[in-house]
Amino acid sequence: MNETSEIHKGLNGVVADVTAVSKVNPETNSLLYRGYPVPELAATQPFEAVAHLLWTGELPTAEELTEVARHERSHRALSAEVKAAMDSLPAECHPMDAVRTAVSVIGAMDPTAKDSSPNAELEKARRLFAQLPAVVAYEQRRRRAGGPTESIPARDDLDYSRNFLWMTFGQEASDEVVEAFRVSMVLYAEHSFNASTFTARVITSTLSDLHSAVTGAIGALKGALHGGANEAVMHTFEEIGIRPEESEEEAHARAKAWMDDALAQKKKIMGFGHRVYKHGDSRVPTMKEAMDAMIAHVGRSEILGLYNGLEQSMDEAKGIKPNLDYPAGPTYHLMGFDTEMFTPLFIAARVTGWTAHIMEQRAANALIRPLSQYDGPDERPVPAS
Ligand code: COA
């Protein structure tokens, strides 16, 4: 590297490789998974079908979908080893740490750990996809119980989303809740070379294994500039104050005042802005619809007041638009999840995209190893001791 090489801080604007998994078009605010517009997938497809699409490139036929669902249902159990590892952690540790640890244990127990052939990779991806809901659901229950507790066994008669909510809350969710949850999973599934996906690809590029790549990706997703933003959005709402008895207009006014003040102090507001989208995140309108339906379902219009108040004030002051985490946070809150559980839900969805990228990276691998420009001290002798 010579003195004049251009540095792309944050790899901003750098095209690192090709991918056939998804296409983000910031000009048209559109997102395609394997060529299909994501709002259309969110409107019509079970999450299991979207997972299959991301892994294989095609939506499943009816017969294939039956097989995908059968496989998913037969690998849902929380193993004794994973539960024991999670139970050994402090109840108050961040759930991202607990899920990261669980994935690491799942990897260590993997009977095919040394096999990275395409078929073995796909099978690992499918199993991990099926296992994560039990891990995330159990972590929510462990937190609530303040330590080790009973897990709720999966129910074979329920699909992915219904069963996820069943294992978390121990009661059947209403159709409205299931629908909003399914939509959030589809929207969170994949988003090209974002930080966590790139992390997974970097790890895979060293010829490391799928579970190591997913474990690293979870670490990247945890940060507030990435997946942690959905949790951070809710902390903003909490800081402003969630008052169910308040009218939409009152909440709107308080939120707007809070945002005006925060922007005057030059604060960065989580849930707004995006590295790729500069005119609005393509996924927000679909997630906002799901949030609106949840709000109508539970009768909590003050949440809409907070949402609109912050959005309006940010738009007027800086023209910065919300990203997917902004409507997703309040939606998960209204479903009854603890705020710290929001990013683990994102893991359960994004594991599909991560594993699709891991398989793609492995199929046409080159070690990812950029250069750096040195700006430390010039060469100097070590002082004599
Ligand atoms: N709140 C306040 N100002 C913001 C902002 C936010 N959420 N996002 C961007 N800006 C401002 C920056 O302060 C900067 O202003 P300046 O030019 O006056 O310094 C300008 O917009 C450009 O922002 P920058 O951080 O350089 O853009 P980026 O492409 O590097 O960052 C994010 C993208 C996502 C990291 C950034 O928007 C952010 O931190 N958002 C909040 C975290 C979040 O929601 N992450 C989830 C992403 S899906």
To the nearest whole percent, how much of the chain has pLDDT over 90? Answer: 95
Q: How many angstroms separate the alpha carbon of residue 270 from the centre of ligand 1?
A: 9
**Residue 273 in contact with ligand 1 by CB distance below 6 A:** yes
- Give the CA dihedral 364, 31, 321, 337, nearest 10 degrees: -80
Residue 223 has pLDDT above 90, yes or no: yes
Burial of 8 (0-12, 13-18, 19+ CB in 10 A): exposed
Q: Over range 108-137, report the average pLDDT.
A: 97
Residue 278 has pLDDT above 90, yes or no: no
68 touches 61 (CB < 8 A): no
Residue in 11, 261, 275, 350 to alter for ligand 1 test, most ligand atoms within 8 A of Cβ: 275
pLDDT for residue 4: 62
Q: Over range 120-138, report the average pLDDT.
A: 98
Burial 125-158 (b: 16+ CB within 10 A, else e): bbbbbbbbbbbbbbbbbbbeeeebeebbebeeeb
Q: Which two tokens stand for residue 215?
A: 């474990």
∠ CA(154), CA(158), CA(163), 5° rounding?
50
What is this structure's pTM? 0.95
Residue 385: pLDDT band by 50, 70, 90 thresholds? Answer: confident
pLDDT for residue 5: 81
Q: How many angstroms separate the alpha carbon of residue 371 from the centre of ligand 1?
A: 26
The residue whose CA has the least distance to atom 24 of ligand 1 is 275
Residue 54 has pLDDT above 90, yes or no: yes
Of the candidates 85, 91, 101, 21, which has an alpha carbon nearest to the alpha carbon of residue 58?
Answer: 21
Is 375 noted as a catalytic residue in this protein?
no
**Residue 274 in contact with ligand 1 by CB distance below 6 A:** yes
| Active-site residue, selected from the candidate residues 52, 274, 333, 357 | 274
pLDDT for residue 1: 55
Q: How many angstroms separate the alpha carbon of residue 7 from the centre of ligand 1?
A: 20
Beta bridge partners of 25: 30
Q: How many angstroms separate the alpha carbon of residue 235 from the centre of ligand 1?
A: 18
**Residue 320 in contact with ligand 1 by CB distance below 6 A:** yes
Q: Over range 262-266, report the average pLDDT.
A: 96
pLDDT for residue 2: 55
Beta bridge partners of 23: 32
Residue 235: pLDDT band by 50, 70, 90 thresholds? Answer: very high
Average pLDDT, the chain: 96
| Active-site residue, selected from the candidate residues 52, 211, 226, 333 | 226
Is 274 noted as a catalytic residue in this protein?
yes
Residue 292 has pLDDT above 60, yes or no: yes
**Residue 310 in contact with ligand 1 by CB distance below 6 A:** no
Residue in 194, 318, 324, 346 to alter for ligand 1 test, most ligand atoms within 8 A of Cβ: 318
Residue in 235, 274, 343 to alter for ligand 1 test, most ligand atoms within 8 A of Cβ: 274
DSSP state of 189: S
pLDDT for residue 114: 93
Q: How many angstroms separate the alpha carbon of residue 193 from the centre of ligand 1?
A: 18
Q: How many angstroms separate the alpha carbon of residue 307 from the centre of ligand 1?
A: 18
Is 325 noted as a catalytic residue in this protein?
yes
**Residue 321 in contact with ligand 1 by CB distance below 6 A:** no
Q: How many angstroms separate the alpha carbon of residue 94 from the centre of ligand 1?
A: 25
pLDDT for residue 28: 86
The residue whose CA has the least distance to atom 23 of ligand 1 is 273
Residue 56 has pLDDT above 60, yes or no: yes
| Active-site residue, selected from the candidate residues 110, 209, 281, 325 | 325
The C-alpha atoms of residue 19 and residue 385 are separated, in whole angstroms, by: 54
Alpha-carbon separation of residue 216 from 263, 268, 300 (angstroms): 33, 26, 37
Residue 279: pLDDT band by 50, 70, 90 thresholds? Answer: confident
pLDDT for residue 270: 94
pLDDT for residue 323: 95
The residue whose CA has the least distance to atom 41 of ligand 1 is 270
